[in-house]
Each structure stands twice: as structure tokens, then as C-alpha cells.
Structure 1
Amino acid sequence: MISGHNIICFSSDWCQDPLSKHHIISRLSQNNRILWINSIGLRTPTVTVKDASRVLAKLKSFFRGAQKINKHLFVISPVAIPFHGVSFFKPFNQLLLWIQLFYYTHKFKMTDCIIWSFLPNTGNLLGFFRKKLSLYYITDDFTKFDGYPSETIEKRENELIDRCDCIIASSKELARKKQRNGKSVSVVNHGVNHAHFASALDIPADRLPFDIKDIARPILGFYGELNTWIDLPMIAEAAKKRLQWSFVLIGRVAVEAGDIGFLQKIPNIHLLGQKKYEELPGYCAAFDAALIPMKINDLTICVNPLKLREYLAAGVPVISASLPEVKPYADVVKFANTADELITAFEEIQKEERFKDKATLSRRVENEGWDGKVEEISEIIQQAIVKKNV
């Protein structure tokens, strides 16, 4: 693993549920000094309670100053005028960001840094830093998110790719789509906190979380953000056709998802709300099958779903949409893109012996831990630094 570096990381908010970026950066912070810069956003806020709450949270974080996560990792929340894609505000936001970055980089003596971005709109900031290396780590195709100014993001992302020394993607399709001007894009698949999720194997029925332990079995479960890329109508249709099955959905409802009242009217669909990362193994222990019910579109074909390996580590059979990055796991996954396919998939899981041994399912991903992924990333970074200095 790389060590002794100063790393400035542009990313989504640290306070979100742990994603690949959290797992990677938290491990790198053991031996490197890291300043994590929360996103200023990629879209203009809507006039909703949820977006207003998000703006207020940003302001509170800004006035709170740098948040210490551990000895070597600090998080800051810069503020900007929230009209992304409006050219009039661009120079004001750039100046505002520069002032804030100047203050914090000098406060933490972040010189000769690795500039690491998980966001597509940071290319204009690279010139601000004396840097050892610039890295763009791509986990999603941001140009395909609903409600985002896709043309603006594509332009900014292309600028970032052209200026970066090193590019890493979390899926083969992302790597293919983001190649520009002959620049190579390395692929590093997501890892899993195996020990955390494998703890589900040791949770007895009487220690399941209070809000799931009395739900009728079998349980088909999902956790994650309920957003536009989740096929909620498919789940609703399957639930209506199999009223004796319970469908448990765990996670916050995104603003973009709109009204999900139609789910609440179906008696065997249970919306349990957002849960802490630490609680997820307990819920997985109650699942008879776990769902990755994504719509197939230009956004999701690039996805490498983090929860695939988490579900499996917990020993839960998986029913997934036919995503390219899931297909290598066909030995432990059933595929379904429609309600009828989902029903058939679970009926087959109930019958087939290979899905009954939870410990075997868990071992399928025990060698895909985050420590190994960080070693892969470190090797790519070291090679890129050497190449740049030749």
C-alpha cells in the first residue's frame, strides 16, 4: 500500500452510507495524510423539503469547519452558489472554491499532493495545486443520472480526463466509455468488508432486528437508495403475484424517485427506511434472497453493484438484473429483469442445493476484500508516479 503521501480527495459527502470511496480512502488514511473535500453538488437543488434539508446540512458542515475522522483524515465542506450548469455563476464559484481550498491546504500543509477525484467536475481545480499526481476514479457514468445537466457534466468530465495523469474505473464498461485520446483506463472491481457482512452467518433468529424479525418468511430483501434506477414497479408486480412472500426494502427514498405511495398500498411490501451500515448484516440474516432490482439502461450497464459482494458475504442468494459486472457470478446469482423472471428465480433458489449452504456462498467472495483492492490501486498509482517522473 502507498504510504507517506498527501492526498486531496474530491468526493461525495463523507456522511453518506459507506461506498467504495469510503472503504478505499479510510484504508489509505492509515499511512497517508488525506483531506477529503465534500462535493459542492452536480445539479441545481429543487424546491423540496429534502433538498432544502441537504442545503442546510451543507451550511452547517461549512460553519463547523474541518471534521477529524482519524489521525490522518480530515473532511471539509466547501460552499458554492448552487446553480450548476449556469455559466454566469461559474467564475464566482471557482473563486469561492479557490479561497476555501487555499485556506485549508495551507492550514493542513498539503503540499506536493496526489489530487484524487471521484467527481467529474473538478478539472478546473487541478491547476490550483502543486501536485505529484492527478487521479480520476470513476464509479458511475454521471452523464446518465436523471436531473443532472448531462451536457455540462460531459464537457467537464472530458476536461478532467484530458488533464489527469491516471484514470481508474470500477467496471469494464465504464473504462471503455471513458477512454479518450489514447489514455488507458485501469479497471479495479469493488471489494467487500467480508468479516462485517459474514457476521450475518452467526446471528440467530431471536437476535434479528426488531422491525424484521416478525415479518413473514420467505423474505426477499433489498437495501440501498430507492432511486430512479431501481425497478420499483417490477417489485410491486411481483409482490402482488406472490402475496405469501414478503418484500423488504431498506433505504432512503431519493428526491428523484418521486412518489412511492403505490408501494405502501401493497400489504406484503415493507419499507423499513434507512439503516446504519453497522446494522446491515442483521437484516441480511433475515433475507431468504437479496435483490439487485435495477432497470437496464445506459446508467446501470456501467454499474458494479457494491451490494452484490456484501449480500454474498452474508451468505444470501442473490437475484439480480442482468448487469454485465454481475454475470461472472452466475454460479451464485439468478438473473431477473421482469416480475415473472424474479418469481421464477426465487422458486428455483428454493429448490436448488447450491443456494442452501450459506457458508459456501460467503466463501465465494472472501478473497475480494477491500485491503486487496487498495493494494491494486496503490500499484497503479506507484506506476503512474514513476511514469510521470521519467
Structure 2
Amino acid sequence: MQAAPPTCTGGKVQPVLLCLSHLRWDFVFQRPQHLMTRAAQDHEVIFFEEPLEAPIPQPRLDFSMQPGGVLRAVPVLPHGLDEAASAAAQRALLDGLLAERAGRPLVAWFYTPMALAFADHLRPDVTIYDCMDELSAFRGAPPAMLAMEQRLLDRADQVFTGGRSLFEAKRDRHRRVHCFPSSIDTAHFGRARDALAEPAALAGIPHPRIGFFGVIDERMDLALVAAFAALRPEMHLIMLGPVVKIDPASLPQGPNLHWLGGRRYDELPDYLAHWDLGFMPFALNESTRFISPTKTPEFLAAGLPVISTPVVDVVRDYGEAGLVEIVESAAELAEQADALLARPRAPFLARVDQQLAKNSWDMTWARMAALLRVPEAAPVAAKAKGVAHV
């Protein structure tokens, strides 16, 4: 598919926002997708993903227009390229993409410092580092990650962080660091409070149902999940999400454990509407030290009481406010599940709604956009006079 033509608004082409992401658009709908769909209201957003390999003679870019107006660009490279050849191929593809948009203001929005391997030659009008995770702590992180991050911090105009812990870790490393914790699409997840049809995958699973949704990887405490399931065999644990970076055979099994795989973002309220509690059984390790799970406010917007292990940002942002119960063991988890199932919901939901009204992805994007300071786009008739941002 060919790239869409430049978008025009009121006789002017929109600025280009190039999002360089380590996450695929269709993997899990989370922070990048929320922000980029909002950015697309007044930018031409190009979501440039990590490459795929295929038995092809020459590198190419595969394009697809996503709901919300984001142009997804996926580099497809021939099998067997080494690291240097892969970076060179991606650089050439990126240069061709931006040459078609020469003369327009450019925002380079990085989610991964490793994108500098093919994008360090760009000279955008604004460079943003949106640090949503401490990627260097994740399993399989490239050894060069920390050095590449320092290079990105040295050139970034603004640094955004996905939570308070990340903000505290980065604030002394750049002159302009801003904390933008996980936000919420309250209307979307609030649908779960309505009488929605039960998904077929839940049919026949008894209540009470305790649910998790998200990526299932090294950040999940599988021993805790297994111990809780054994302590409360009458409670059924519904686990939604793709399994990555861990062996699926390592997932604990039992008659009350249901690993249902990934679900689309638009399906999630249908599932949450038929759960009794939400839980976040995160392991406490290097990969969870700085996380600020987006699912925390999403569970709450859906009207579900939530139990979590003591992830720092969850404790500070929700546990101390009495909105999420914090536990450290399977025994505590079982005890809190019993208590929450018996607790009246109305007072809890009133406090939840008061808290959630203070934030949203719309508010977060508006605050971020105010920090971009993108130069005014050139008139359409003059756009050919500009130069490529390469």
C-alpha cells in the first residue's frame, strides 16, 4: 500500500509526527496508541515500527492506515541482514518516507533509544523521548540500551515519563523532564458497568471471577498466581493477554486457571463487565521497578475493585488513596479477595469516579502538545521549497 498524501487543514499541511516505536501497533493498545491517535487530529502521524524479515530481494515499507488516522509503516527486510546492514536499510527507507514530506515541520517522537541506530542523522524541529518503561531492565534488552538512551537524552528537547518512579529516575539527567502517568479512557472502560453481553470464552466459567489483562511476561509472578489459585479453588482466574519472552509451558495450570490469550482493546469492557475483581500479580524485580500500569485506572473505570502486589507507583498513586488493595503474598491476596467480594460497591465507586475525573488521555495529550512548540506548517503551495529533514 502506498503512503497517504499529506494532510491539509485550512490550506496548510499538517506537521509530521514520526513515532519510532519498539511496540507494534496491533500488539496491545496502550500508551503509544492512545497518544498517537490523539496527535493525529492535528499532525500527520507516522508510526514507524521495528522491522520484520521476509524472503524478499530488497527492503520495503508496508503501509496501513489505522483507525484514528495513524499511518503505520513497517520495514520489511530481506532475511539474514547483519546489524549494520539492517540499520542502513531502515535509514534508507526512512529517508525516502521523509523526502516525500520535505519542507514540513517534523517531530521525532522516540519510544526506544535503539531507533537512533537508523535515525540519529535526522534533524527534526522537535525531539521527544516518551519514556514509558525502563527498557534496559527488560529481559533480552540490548547491551547498548543504556548508552543509546544517554545519546537520546542528550538530543531530546523534552522528556516525558510514564510514571512517578521513572520521573524520579530521569529528572536529573535532562533539563526538561515531565511526569505523565498512565491515563484513562473512562468512557471506553466505563462501558463495563453496563449490562454487556457475556463473551463466549467466559461461558461456563463459574463466579467469582478474578481477572487480569495485559502482556504476560517476566513481570508476572507466576508462583503467586499458582498459590492463589490453589488457596481459593472456588475462585476462577481469567488471564487475558499474549505470552511473550517466557515459555508458555511455564504457566501454572489448574481447573480454576483460564489462560485465554490476547483480546482486542475494544473487546476488553465486555470481559471486565463479567468479572468480580481485578488483580495485578506483578513480580517485584528490575523489570517492574519503574512501571506505572495503565490497567490500574482501566480496572477502576470498569467498576472493579483491584488487588495488586506492591509496585511502587501503584502503591503511591492508588494504594495510599485506598483505591487499590496492596498484598505481598498469596494468603493476603486470598484474604483481600474474600473481603472485596463482600464489600458494598457504591461508596467505592464514588471515590473512584472522583479520582478518575482528574485525568484522561485527552488531558494528557493536551498537556504534551503544549510542550511541542512545533513551528507553523508552511502553506501547501510553498511546501515543495523546503528541504528534507535528513
**TM-score for the superposition, normalised by structure 2:** 0.84
2:21 counterpart of 1:25:
no
| Deviation sequence 1:251-303 (CA, Å, 0-9, x none) | 1211x221435523x11111122111111101111111101110112221211
Q: Which runs of 5 or more residues in structure 2 are unaligned?
A: 1-12, 377-390
1:1-390 equivalences in 2 (<5 Å):
4-11=14-21, 12-40=23-51, 55=53, 65-69=62-66, 73-79=70-76, 89-109=82-102, 111-149=104-142, 151-179=143-171, 181-203=173-195, 207-254=197-244, 256-260=245-249, 263-264=252-253, 266-327=254-315, 328-330=317-319, 331-353=322-344, 358=349, 361-382=352-373
Give the whole-Å Cα distance in 1 for the aligned partners of 2:78 and 2:170.
28
Q: Which moved more, 1:183-192 or 1:65-74?
A: 65-74
Structure 1 residues 262 and 369: CA distance shift in structure 2, 3 A: closer
- 1:124 and 1:211, CA in 2 relative to 1: closer, same or farther beyond 3 A? closer
In the other structure, the counterpart of 1:43 is: none
**Structure having the larger proportion of residues in helix:** 1
Aligned CA distance change for structure 1 residues 259 and 276 (closer, same or farther; 3 Å): closer
One-letter amino acid of the counterpart of residue 340, structure 1 = A
- Aligned partner of residue 344 in structure 1, secondary structure: helix
1:366 shift after superposition = 3.6
1:106 CA displacement: 1.9
Contact 2:136 2:145 in 1 (8 A): yes
3-state DSSP of counterpart to 1:315: coil
Distance 1:307-1:70 versus aligned 2 partners, 3 A rule = closer
Query: Contact between 1:234 and 1:339, CA under 8 Å: does it hold in 2?
Result: yes
How far the C-alpha of 1:238 sits from its partner, in A, is 0.7
Provide, for residues 328-385 of structure 1, a one-character-per-residue CA deviation record: whole Å limited to 9, x for no partner. Answer: 2122211122211211111221233357755654554244221001011112223x98
Using the TM superposition, give the Cα deviation of residue 230 of structure 1 relative to its aligned residue in structure 2, in angstroms.
0.6
Q: Tell me: CA distance 1:362–1:284, structure 2 relative to 1, closer, same or farther (3 Å).
A: farther
Q: What's 1:46 paired with?
A: none
Q: 1: distance between equivalents of 2:275 and 2:325? A: 15
CA deviation map 1:231-266 (0-9, x unaligned)? 111111111111111111111211x221435523x1
Comparing 350-359 and 102-111, the one that deviates more: 350-359
TM-score relative to the length of structure 1? 0.84
Distance in 1, matches of 2:132 and 2:302, equals 23
Q: Which amino acid aligns with 2:193?
A: L
SS of 1:9's partner is strand
What SS is found at the alignment partner of 1:303? coil
Give the conservation status (yes or no) of the 8 Å contact 2:291–2:311.
yes
Note if contact 1:246-1:269 (Cα within 8 Å) is conserved in structure 2: yes
Query: Alpha-carbon deviation of 1:195?
Result: 0.6
Opposite residue 331 of structure 2, the aligned amino acid is D
Q: What do the CA deviations read for 1:167-195 (whole angstroms, capped 9, x no partner)?
A: 11111221222345553321111111111
In 2, distance between residues paired with 1:212 and 1:360? 29
Please, which runs of 5 or more residues in structure 1 have no aligned partner? 41-53
Indicate how the Cα distance of structure 1 residues 220 and 71 shifts in structure 2: closer, same or farther if over 3 A, else same. Answer: closer
Are 2:157 and 2:176, in contact at CA under 8 Å, matched by a contact in 1?
A: no
Please give the per-residue CA displacement for 1:131-167, whole angstroms capped at 9, x wherever unaligned. Answer: 1111110001111111222x31111111111121111
- CA distance change for structure 1 residues 118 and 82 in 2, over 3 Å: closer, same or farther? farther
Q: Tell me which of the two structures has the higher relative contact order, counting C-alpha pairs closer than 8 angstroms and 6 or more residues apart.
A: 2
CA contact (8 A) 2:53 2:77 kept: no
Match of 1:45 in 2: none
Distance 1:317 1:90, change over 3 A: same
Residues 260 and 334 from structure 1, CA distance in 2 versus in 1: closer, same or farther, beyond 3 angstroms? Answer: farther
Identify if the C-alpha distance between structure 1 residues 14 and 110 changes in structure 2 by more than 3 Å, giving closer, same or farther: farther
Alpha-carbon RMSD across the aligned residues, in angstroms, is 2.7
In 2, the alpha carbon distance for the partners of 1:295 and 1:7 equals 35
Q: Deviations over 1:106-145 (max 9, x none)?
A: 2344743111111121234454334111111000111111
Quote the offset at 1:36 in angstroms.
1.3
